[in-house]
Amino acid sequence: MGSAQGRGWQLGAAAEIGGVLQVPGDKSISHRALLFLAIAEGGGEIRGLLEARDCLNTLAALRALGARIDSLGPGSYRVVGPAGGGLRAPDKPLDLGNSGTGLRLLTGLLAGLNLPASLTGDASLCRRPMGRIVDPLNAMGAAIRAEDGRPPLHLASHEGLQGIDYAMPVASAQVKSAILLAGLHARGETRVREPAPTRDHSERMLAGLGADIEWGQGEVRLRPGGLRGQDIDVPADFSSAAFFVALAAARPGAEICLRQVGINPTRDGLLRLLKRMGAAVGLENQRLVGGEPVADIRVTGQPLEAITVSAEEVALAVDEIPALMIAAARARGTTHVEGAAELRVKESDRIAAMAEGLQAMGLSVETRPDGLSVTGGPIRGGRIASRGDHRIAMSFAMLGALLPAGEQLRIDDVDNVATSFPDFIARCKAVGVNIQES
């Protein structure tokens, strides 16, 4: 049933937590597979694509640019650029919905191809900062206009791009990837330096598709050139697995095994943080899939101790800080997160959203412009505003599963969970989470 707040969930104490799960495909890798194959000679097949709203918006945008993308079965697609030529300018604005990755990477790609276009998104995306991509892309020679530094973005045609040597002011894989995509079609070398390591999926996939690229020691160098198509297997999304990892970690005695999850070291920071808190985390069946490390993650809950998380650690767990807060809520002592100002410009202001929700559940929380501190303790039920943010909704669902008997938690406005995690409710029920839609 709908309400003024959109659809919601009702959570109650879970009798027992445990089981084996496979979560859907990686969102970051799915976006990149679609975007890169659409400009790669011969195209390729994607297996395990995340069929969630964010990636489907990117898929639709690429179709509007003339790419041919055929479904071959669940999660399987064949992507081929337009026959006999490159992508073409779209005749309507491209709507990337809720997705920062879709909008920022596509802007880099379009700037490189010199295709005039307008890109927009939903209310959340239209509040997010775009100067971080517009400035370096325009410095390369693009002609992008943003209204007040935010979407919609308007790309006009330009005289050609020049490679850039760019030191990013923020640690952002989206900014890095947008510049690299533009650099594929620029004159001369493009070099991007990062203030802290961020996810390197673009670098790995570009190398796999034959780009002239090298990276390490905090910088990437790319020389222009075409890509050669190849089939791409997408591992399960670490960021989706993270909710269940945190749930098992925060409940002594619980054991959950997540199958075939991407454990790229630029993504799996949460595991190191939870281990430091005392959780038992094991990796099984480790292997490489399409240039990305993959493993089954087995987590066994133990009593946890609070930790301090540094800015560098935040960059390697940037989407998992809400899930980490679940563990912090159940840990002994006060967990401090530092250098996390980026969390304020995600799908919602995640520092404010987590603080508000944790306080509503009876916990003591302090916020700062670039972080928060959470003191573990007893939790109670109540009502949580997810602010339309998928990761806030899913994190609080996990904390709801840890409620004492008799307590109930309502989470409002959960529609956007469909942007990243189809069938989240079924996965919750499979490991014993007591969750109902309402």
Cβ 239 to ligand S3P shortest distance, Å: 7
Q: Strands (DSSP E) along 22-86, which ranges? A: 40-41, 44-47, 68-73, 76-80
**Amino acid sitting at position 153:** L
* Three-state secondary structure string covering 224-272: CCCEECCCEECCECHHHHHHHHHHHHCCCCCEEEEEEEECCCCCCHHHH
Of 28 and 302, nearer to ligand S3P (C-beta) is 28
Of the candidate residues 58, 107, 124, 174, the single one contacting ligand S3P (CB under 6 A): 174
Instruction: Tell me, yes or no, if 122 is annotated catalytic.
Output: no
Is residue 235 within 8 Å of residue 261, measured between CB atoms? yes
Cβ 29 to ligand S3P shortest distance, Å: 8
Is residue 48 within 8 Å of residue 34, measured between CB atoms? no
| 100 in a labelled binding site | yes
Residues 196-215 that bind ligand S3P (CB under 6 A): 199
Cis ω before 152 (30° cut-off from 0): yes
Of 390 and 410, nearer to ligand S3P (C-beta) is 390
Cβ 65 to ligand S3P shortest distance, Å: 20
**Should residue 172 be labelled a site residue for ligand S3P when binding is judged by CB under 6 A?**
yes
Cβ 381 to ligand S3P shortest distance, Å: 29
Ordered strands of the 76-80 beta sheet: 68-73, 76-80, 44-47, 232-233
Is residue 125 within 8 Å of residue 133, measured between CB atoms? no
| 99 in a labelled binding site | no
- 361: its two tokens: 């559940």
Catalytic, out of 95, 122, 237, 319: 319
Site stretch for ligand S3P (CB under 6 A), options 167-175, 219-227, 295-303, 376-384: 167-175
Of 174 and 302, nearer to ligand S3P (C-beta) is 174
| 346 in a labelled binding site | yes
**Should residue 241 be labelled a site residue for ligand S3P when binding is judged by CB under 6 A?**
no
The CA distances from residue 422 to 69, 136, 415, in Å, are: 21, 35, 11
**Amino acid sitting at position 14:** A
Residues 40-69 that bind ligand S3P (CB under 6 A): none
Of 117 and 173, nearer to ligand S3P (C-beta) is 173
Report the 10 Å Cβ neighbour count for 148: 9
Report the 10 Å Cβ neighbour count for 88: 13
The burial of 248, by beta-carbon neighbours within 10 Å (0-12 exposed, 13-18 middle, 19 or more buried), is given as: buried
Q: Cα 157 to the chain's mean position, in Å?
A: 30
**Should residue 95 be labelled a site residue for ligand S3P when binding is judged by CB under 6 A?**
no
Of 194 and 412, nearer to ligand S3P (C-beta) is 194
| Burial annotation 279-298 (CB, 10 A radius, 16+ → b, else e) | bebeeeeeeebbbbbbbbbb
Cβ 346 to ligand S3P shortest distance, Å: 6
Of the candidate residues 56, 173, 279, 343, the single one contacting ligand S3P (CB under 6 A): 173
Residue whose pair of structure tokens reads 């669940």 in the numeric block: 74
Site stretch for ligand S3P (CB under 6 A), options 108-116, 173-181, 280-288, 323-331: 173-181
Of 100 and 382, nearer to ligand S3P (C-beta) is 100
| 391 in a labelled binding site | yes
Of 95 and 342, nearer to ligand S3P (C-beta) is 342
- 76: its two tokens: 């399987």
Site stretch for ligand S3P (CB under 6 A), options 36-44, 61-69, 172-180, 410-418: 172-180
Cβ 129 to ligand S3P shortest distance, Å: 9
- 376: its two tokens: 């573990």
Residues 297-326 that bind ligand S3P (CB under 6 A): 318-319
- Return d(Cα 198, Cα 202) in angstroms, integer: 11
Of the candidate residues 17, 21, 28, 203, the single one contacting ligand S3P (CB under 6 A): 28
| 350 in a labelled binding site | yes
Cβ 175 to ligand S3P shortest distance, Å: 6
The CA distances from residue 297 to 200, 211, 286, 359, in Å, are: 21, 32, 9, 31
| 237 in a labelled binding site | no
Q: Strands (DSSP E) along 263-324, which ranges? A: 280-289, 292-300, 308-309
**Should residue 101 be labelled a site residue for ligand S3P when binding is judged by CB under 6 A?**
yes
Catalytic residues, by residue number, are: 319
**Given the rule CB under 6 A, which residues bind ligand S3P?**
28, 100-101, 172-174, 177, 199, 318-319, 342
Q: Give the annotated binding-site residues for phosphoenolpyruvate.
A: 27, 100, 128, 174, 350, 391
Q: Give the annotated binding-site residues for 3-phosphoshikimate.
A: 27-28, 32, 172, 174, 319, 346
